[in-house]
Amino acid sequence: MMTIRELIESGTKKLEAARIGEAQTHCEFIAAFVLNKSRTYVRAFGQNIVYDKERAMFDDILKEKLAGRPLAHITGSAEFMGRIFDISQTVLIPRPETEELVEQAIKKISVPPRSVLDICTGSGCIAISLAFLFKSAKIVSADISKEALKVALRNAQNLNIANRIEFIESDMFDKLGGTFDFIISNPPYIPEEIISTLSPEVQCEPHIALCGGKDGLSVIKRLISSAPKYLNPGGLLALEIGCAQAEKVVKFFKDVKWQKPQIGKDISGTDRFVFARRK
């Protein structure tokens, strides 16, 4: 017989021994998934007993985690800005930095936008979160990947917000029309040759969601050069970028239509976001 707390503690030790970061958090998520409860529940009711079947399931998931499979792929879901999103191997697993991108961007918006474009939408986590925040805005969610868009649509349906969002398969702006008050994107920005050096977990994610070409900047550069045509005067572009890319990215805002871009830092103090307003 084992309690939830003992189960989490034993799993945490195994993950720590394998030098997997945030071991306890991962184990709390696994326990919550296995018990079909929230993470808050497993923390609050650690004294409750787990059945052998649940323990066996916990151990199986832990083995997959130890083998380098992302938890979001094992459970098929991930949390973003307080909501649960379906995740498959066709989309990037939403990251905490991207939550910061959304939070910092909305602080820069004084008048609610009438139209929002989330370009490179993946699971739809940004577009959907913004649809909940800006209740009267028209939201467009675009991605080059048909498979990613299917996941984004499913997420919008699960969260009962699909009627507020238009999903468009498009290579950058190719299939997009009209203009927007706010364009936001977490584009692929990892340099191609770095990808094979990243953790096995990251390498489970779609190449197209990670790879920003030779220098990591090819998608960002295209985005910045086309965006003025799709932004309304005074409209905001908010981008997530890779660490050490800020200086180069800022130089892409050559068009006279841009006001001076601003760099934003993530919680670890890394330059991670660029915000620019169209004149």
**Residues in the site for ligand SAM, rule: CB under 6 A?**
91-92, 94, 98, 120-123, 125-126, 143-145, 148, 171-172, 186-188, 208-209, 219
Query: CB 202 → ligand SAM: shortest distance, Å?
Result: 11
The two structure tokens encoding residue 236? 């905001």
Query: CB 214 → ligand SAM: shortest distance, Å?
Result: 15
- 70 conformational bin, left if phi > 0, alpha if psi -120 to 50, beta if neither: beta
Q: Which is nearer to ligand SAM, 35 or 209 (CB)?
A: 209
Query: CB 242 → ligand SAM: shortest distance, Å?
Result: 10
Query: Rounded CA gap, 266 and 276, in Å?
Result: 17
| Radius of gyration of the chain, Cα coordinates, nearest whole angstrom | 20
Query: CB 254 → ligand SAM: shortest distance, Å?
Result: 21
Q: Which is nearer to ligand SAM, 66 or 204 (CB)?
A: 204
Phi then psi for residue 123, to 5 deg, are -70, -5
Q: Which is nearer to ligand SAM, 8 or 209 (CB)?
A: 209
Query: CB 120 → ligand SAM: shortest distance, Å?
Result: 3
Query: Rounded CA gap, 167 and 85, in Å?
Result: 16
- Greatest C-alpha distance within the chain: 69
Sign of CA dihedral 230, 273, 218, 150: negative
Q: Which residue has the tokens 């030779």?
A: 214
